[in-house]
Amino acid sequence: MKSAATKATRLQLFSFSTPAMRAFHMSWLAFFVCFFAWFSLAPLMPVIKAEFKLSKDQIANINIAAVGITILVRLIIGPLCDKYGPRKTYSALLALGALPVIGIAFAKSYAVFLFFRLLIGAIGASFVITQYHTSVMFAPNVVGTANAASAGWGNSGGGVTQSVMPWVLAAALSLGVERGLGWRLSMIVPAALMLIVAVMYYKFTQDCPQGNYKELREAGVEIESGKKGGWQVFKAAAANYRVWMLFVTYGACFGIELFVHNVAASYYVDRFKLDLQSAGMAAGSFGLLALFARALGGIFSDRVARMRGLDARTTLLFALMVGEGAGLLWFSHTNTAAMAVTAMIAFGLFTHMACGATYALVPFIDRKSLGGVAGIIGAGGNVGAVAAGFLLKSVGSVQACFSTLGICVLVSSVCAIAVRFSASHKAKEQSLYEQALAERQSLSPERELVAQAS
């Protein structure tokens, strides 16, 4: 097995010269454009709703479809990373995912629109590849920060699309096209971005610090994810109770994030009577928190682990989820747009940080089954979003739905402190952690860059 010393022990944000930093920058960029495309329709839903004359029930079905298929794809994408490597897996997902993004522009009925919206949800599995790639590239002392920062910057695509797509539509309308054609032409933007990044990802990245999985396996080199990956990796991950505890916690933080991305713009239009651009800016503020808040969750997780060990990571996650649940209850009881935005930013900070803290734990669950672990926990986020969608259908009110979700998050936080590790597991991880610190201290930043590049 390769040692932690072969992984990057620093996050050199302004470097693109090492395999680890190329994987970091390309993975967050790929996730950004996937997230941008995934939720590019959400801020345009008031226009689409009018064109197709959609009922509340049909809108709820569309929101569920947007995150539903991602559950299945996230479950299988992690083992695919173990088998074929994150480089090929990500490039293929980006290229294939662009097809339904542009395809939905040709929808002429609710049924066809729903079908393509379901297919677009598959690109949400990009998150698992992002977390997988940074997990295999960075050492234990910094992997939490790397995971959280890459995912957070990628997640900000959800905020950017909320703010940008209404203006893309406005630009199309300024050219004299009708609104029905305008939103369709707008979908060219996210589809084109996905294809461009697919080529870049294949060209600039490699699977792990030593190289690509195919060549390494042919040369008989043992890699951290195991010999072949695939179904065996998934079964090993599924047998670990900690995976399912984090499955629940991720459903209660990332699931809430996805739900907010789907309904926030429409909520501000319907409840507070904002126009499309203003509602998009308000909703976008939640997504833009991911630029730094998710990274903070990873940074704090790395720091508490340095002081108090592996169990401190779970305690931090518990505290963040309590803050998220309390913030959701506050948001659900606001009566003005200004106060709603304030409350949304407050609970959004805890939500994004909890997401970062969850995936700061993922690399330490089972290194031999990393793809399966990342995939199952990632799917939990979409299960949470789907559950929130069905809850909205049953209560019929977005405001009441947010209130109920706040209570659910508080209950789910118990799963975080239920995650515990054996003494031998903690001793092994502590050894790897100390090895990474020793490697970092022995190399200056410049020498480490040269060593990684070599």
Q: What is the pLDDT of residues 141-164, one digit of tens each?
A: 899 899 989 998 998 888 889 889
Across the chain, how many H-helices and E-strands are there?
21, 0
- Output 442 or 201, whichever has higher pLDDT: 201
210's tokens: 């030593």
What is the percent of the chain with per-residue pLDDT over 70, rounded to a whole number? 95
pLDDT in tens, 397-438: 999 999 999 999 999 999 999 999 988 888 888 888 888 778
pLDDT-derived band at 453, boundaries 50, 70, 90: low
Q: Please state, in angstroms and rounded to a whole number, the distance separating the CA atoms of residues 238 and 337.
A: 43
Confidence of residue 452 (pLDDT cuts 50, 70, 90): low
| 66 or 255, greater pLDDT | 255
pLDDT of residue 47 exceeding 80? yes
CA torsion, ordered 423, 428, 431, 435, to nearest 10 deg: -160
Residue 262: band (very low, low, confident or very high) from pLDDT cuts 50, 70, 90: confident
Res 287: pLDDT = 83
Average pLDDT, the chain: 90
Task: Identify which of 299, 232, 240 has the alpha carbon closest to the alpha carbon of residue 422.
Answer: 240
Cβ-proximal residues to 283 (8 Å cutoff; 6+ apart), any chain: 42, 43, 159, 162, 260, 261, 264, 265, 267, 268
pLDDT at 310 over 80: yes
Give me the count of residues in the chain. Answer: 454
The predicted model gives 341-359 an average pLDDT of: 95
Q: Indicate the pLDDT class of residue 4, thresholds 50, 70 and 90.
A: very low
**Residue written as tokens 């959800």?**
158
| Domain extents in the chain | 14-209+219-453
Contacts 24+ apart (CB under 8 A), 329-338: 329/403, 329/406, 329/407, 331/402, 331/406, 332/399, 332/400, 332/402, 332/403, 332/406, 333/403, 336/272, 337/268, 337/272, 337/274, 337/282
The CATH fold of domain 14-209+219-453: Growth Hormone; Chain: A; (1.20.1250)
Residue 245's SS3 state is helix
Q: Phi and psi for 250 in degrees, rounded to 5?
A: -70, -30
Say how far apart CA 152 and CA 168 lie, in whole Å: 24
Q: Bridge partners of 211?
A: 208
Question: Tokens 């699931």 label which residue?
Answer: 255
Q: Is the pTM higher than 0.85?
A: no
pLDDT tens-digit series, residues 364-385: 998 888 888 989 999 999 899 9
Handedness of CA 406, 388, 31, 304 (dihedral sign): positive
Joined together, the tokens standing for residue 107 give 């929808």
Q: How confident is the model at residue 451 (pLDDT cuts 50, 70, 90)?
A: low
Q: Are 298 and 362 in contact (CB under 8 A)?
A: no
